[in-house]
Structure 1
Amino acid sequence: MVSTDVWHVEHYEELLKEYGRVCIRWAAVDLMFVRLLSVALRGNYEAARDLIFNSAGSGRQRISIFENAIGGSHFEQIDRERILLITRRINDLLGARNDVIHSPLSIAYKVEGKSIRPSVMSTNRRGRERPVSLDAIKEHVALIGHCLSDLESALVDLCLKYDTGDEVELIELDEGPAG
């Protein structure tokens, strides 16, 4: 049996779609970190995968491991700076990502005139409730999408420059319908 809150929240299909996009794009960030580290480790994909997926329990730890490995890599300074600049943008988005992923959703009812109106609320780790903003989540999806695009561009450039023999498969991100 599903709780009443979950049942109600699951009827907000557009919200669920955007939550899914947040999850998918952040998972893609981890995969992009693995691919970039593989180039930094001269093609050692297994070591790169182990560093990102097995050496860290949180997003901040993964970012820190990634930054340290890139900062100490054989890449030229300009390449390291480019990647670390993107990583800083990703780090800045991590709090919003955690709010989406870790804050439970519920339904609150508000009286407006003679009607009762439901709204979706999220509760953070401190117990603070706030209304969920679909527009803010869409903006987050777009921002992390831009970071992914920049990471992918850097990956292609680094693969060409440092020739690890790895092939890079590019994936087009669908931004959805305009409007």
Structure 2
Amino acid sequence: MALSLPSSPSPARRRATVYRTLFNGSFNISINREPAGRIVFRLFDHVCPQTARNFRELASGGREVGYAGSEIHRIVPAFMIQGGDITSRDGSGGTSIYGPTFDDESFRIKHDRPGLLSMANRGPNTNSSQFFITTDPAPWCDRKNVVFGEVLEGMDLVRRIQTYTCDDILRRPSVPVVVTQCGVLP
């Protein structure tokens, strides 16, 4: 049975939805080399412990490669922003803490609202470090991409990033959008 979160939950409903969280993390973002703000995430460890661990360790800075210095390299209006290429830094690469790729873990949570953190992949069981943040519901991603977290703060920054699209076929932002710092929050 799939777990579907409402698109605009009431405060009572949000309190009733229990997510065991081992990590809240943040990305400090620059746009065109100027500080732009922070995005704070909550990971759904209870649904996707392997996927959450992969993201957490790449964000914590304790590895040779990680999200610091990587770019938001793809923007699709009315869908998502994508980043996490920690090897090539242009959207063509990525790696995980488990090796080059790891398997899809759970499709319980649907892509039914903005602000969901989901794995980007090249097909079944090809997750690495690349992720995307939804800016609108994306039901076509259900059962193809693993939702493993959500944006707690900074959705305004996500929407601002989405305005920097350009017309190239790769949908790269028109200015550099970089994760300048990332880490774990208490």
TM range (shorter): under 0.3
Provide the TM-score with structure 2 as the length reference: 0.26
Higher strand residue share:
2
Q: Rg bigger for which structure?
A: 1
Higher helix residue share:
1
Provide the TM-score with structure 1 as the length reference: 0.26
